[in-house]
Chains A and B, each alone.
Chain A
Amino acid sequence: MNSSTETLTINWIGLGTIVRREAMRMMRVPIQVFLAPWISALLFIFIFGFVVGGRIAPIAGHRYLEFVLPGILMMNVVNSSFLQSSSQVYFSRFLRFVEETLVAPLSYVEMIAGSLAVVVARTVVTAVGILLMGAAFGATSIHSFVEFLFWIVAISVSFGLLGIIIGLWAKNFEQLNVLTVFFIAPLSMVGGVFNTIGMLPSWLRWLALLNPFFYFSSGLRHAMIGFSESSLGLGIAVTLALSAVLALLVWRLYAVGYGLRE
């Protein structure tokens, strides 16, 4: 639908307005958006890191709480980014205010970039809150800030894109939760959040290596405490490849108008 020559220019005011609108919508429900993940993270930190973790031997010289905190952070970044973009796209379709942007001189790239900018903003605020909680338990450390930033942004963008796809696909509220229940929650739980691969039975270890969540938690763990069970390069490659595939898919769905245009 959109020609290539016109997508070369950028409607900055329109793009900024998508961000402004979504930020305002997000701030209407601060308990759901920020407080809920912070409380959930606090419970994880307290139970798994503090109460149970106190009885677990250090892993590679790190307290269990320090080991588990990057995984808890990863789970919340994944959830926040997915929920932000999926609900934004779904509700804009459900209430039909997506038509405001469809009739405006905005390109697909601007619409997608606007959504993702809010996703990243939400996850950064969520992540900072969790880091502060970790700090209260003496467990927060940053081994490499650049790596940390990369993982937060890369995970946010990947799951923001996945959320857009589900937001476009979902026909009702129930479908909106399908991916979280059957894919995100189980894979993140078995993705090395609470344990090392070495703790798994040997016949299950290959499965962990196929799980992208393993690379996310491993990468974040390396950025925070300098310990990783996977190759950093492989993790970055898997994450960038996943983002690229999802970005192409989202761009294609917008281009054909799937779920957006009649």
Chain B
Amino acid sequence: MAADALTISDLRKVYRGGVVGVDGVSFRVARGDFFGFLGPNGAGKSTTIHCITGIATVTSGTIEVFGIDVVAKYREARRLVGLSAQEFNVYTFATCVDILDWSAAYFGLPKRLRRERIAMMLERFGLTSHAKKEFRQLSGGLKRRLVLARALVHDPALLILDEPTAGVDVELRHELWAFLQDLNAAGKTIFLTSHYLEEVAHLCRTIAIVNEGRISRIGPKAEFLGDGGLEAAYFAAVGRRPVMMASPDEQ
């Protein structure tokens, strides 16, 4: 039987200074799934992603990508993963082409294949006319597209998106949603974190909610869409209540 796209077992991450990022997190993401990972700020979403991708060290527990241990066989595992980080982790004076070229080359793609993939990514993300512009010259939306293109340039089997639509306008958000759905339909496994519950409800098939470093609820999306919808399920899972603002009429 083929391994899951992602298997995390009893992951614990303690930062220098003793702050616990995640504490005993375990879950699986099936191949081809569109997996939503929700939680409040500081709950452990980015920490989990950083442990999967190698930005953070793992204190204990194991992480496997398509059955490959991300620590023991990091080269093999990392080739299968593409990350679109929450913050722009880019050399801002580099051009779009350079950023894509460097990233593809870090993953070992030969020059000819790099050229093909870069042209394809620029075209797919509407960046062709901006190819020679430096990153710092791009608008917020174009920056977000480029970071997504960079995550995909080496054609990873597992795409990890850490709040990919943060700060983008409604039109681009819908464009990205359609693009991500196409990617997923083509067989790519997608792991998405977002603070937009409607985004997760719209895109994902499986949802996990993490709170205070632990998984508080996980299951198929349908299980979260009962009374009150995903928002009610979310607040219940994180043990908080929404602060309801009074409407002007009520005031």
A binding-site residues for B, Cβ under 8 Å: 1-3, 6, 9, 11, 13-14, 16-18, 20-21, 24-25, 28, 92, 95-107, 256-257, 261-262
CB of A96 within 8 A of CB of B89, answer yes
Known: A95-B90, A95-B92. A105 touches B57 (CB 8 A): no
- CB-CB under 8 A from B15, the residues of chain A are 262
- How many chain B residues touch the partner (CB < 8 A)? 39
- CB-CB under 8 A from B74, the residues of chain A are 1-3, 6, 105
- CB-CB under 8 A from A106, the residues of chain B are 106
CB of B75 within 8 A of CB of A9, answer yes
Shortest Cβ distance from residue B99 to the other chain A in the assembled complex, whole angstroms: 8
B binding-site residues for A, Cβ under 8 Å: 15, 21, 47, 50, 53-57, 71-76, 78-79, 81, 83, 85, 87-94, 98, 101-103, 105-110, 150
- Contact of A21 (CB < 8 Å), options: B73, B76, B79, B91: B91
CB of B55 within 8 A of CB of A95, answer no
- Contact of B87 (CB < 8 Å), options: A14, A96, A104, A262: A96
Shortest Cβ distance from residue A167 to the other chain B in the assembled complex, whole angstroms: 15
CB of B90 within 8 A of CB of A261, answer no
Q: Which of B75, B81, B85, B92 has the most CB of A within 10 A?
A: B75
- CB-CB under 8 A from B83, the residues of chain A are 103
- Contact of B108 (CB < 8 Å), options: A11, A21, A96: A11
For the complex, what is the distance from the CA of A102 to the CA of B103, rounded to whole Å? Answer: 11
User: Taking CB as reference atom, which chain B residue is nearest A98?
Assistant: B89
User: Taking CB as reference atom, which chain B residue is nearest A97?
Assistant: B91
Q: Which 9 A-B pairs have the closest CB atoms?
A: A104-B106, A17-B105, A105-B75, A96-B89, A262-B56, A99-B89, A97-B91, A103-B53, A105-B78
User: Taking CB as reference atom, which chain A residue is nearest B70?
Assistant: A1
Q: List 9 A-B contacts (CB under 8 A).
A: A1-B54, A2-B74, A6-B75, A17-B105, A20-B102, A24-B98, A95-B92, A102-B54, A262-B57
Q: Which of B53, B79, B108, B150 has the most CB of A within 10 A?
A: B108
For the complex, what is the distance from the CA of A199 to the CA of B150, rounded to whole Å? Answer: 60
- CB-CB under 8 A from B21, the residues of chain A are 262
CB of A3 within 8 A of CB of B72, answer yes
Shortest Cβ distance from residue B19 to the other chain A in the assembled complex, whole angstroms: 10
Q: Which of B54, B92, B107 has the most CB of A within 10 A?
A: B54
CB of B79 within 8 A of CB of A262, answer no
For the complex, what is the distance from the CA of A17 to the CA of B104, rounded to whole Å? Answer: 10
CB of A103 within 8 A of CB of B98, answer no
For the complex, what is the distance from the CA of A153 to the CA of B3, rounded to whole Å? Answer: 48
CB of B105 within 8 A of CB of A13, answer yes
CB of A17 within 8 A of CB of B106, answer yes
- CB-CB under 8 A from A101, the residues of chain B are 106
For the complex, what is the distance from the CA of A99 to the CA of B27, rounded to whole Å? Answer: 25
CB of A97 within 8 A of CB of B89, answer yes
- CB-CB under 8 A from A1, the residues of chain B are 54, 57, 71, 74
- CB-CB under 8 A from A256, the residues of chain B are 57
For the complex, what is the distance from the CA of A20 to the CA of B73, rounded to whole Å? Answer: 26
User: Taking CB as reference atom, which chain A residue is nearest B75?
Assistant: A105
CB of A99 within 8 A of CB of B55, answer yes
Q: Which of A16, A20, A96, A103 has the most CB of B within 10 A?
A: A103
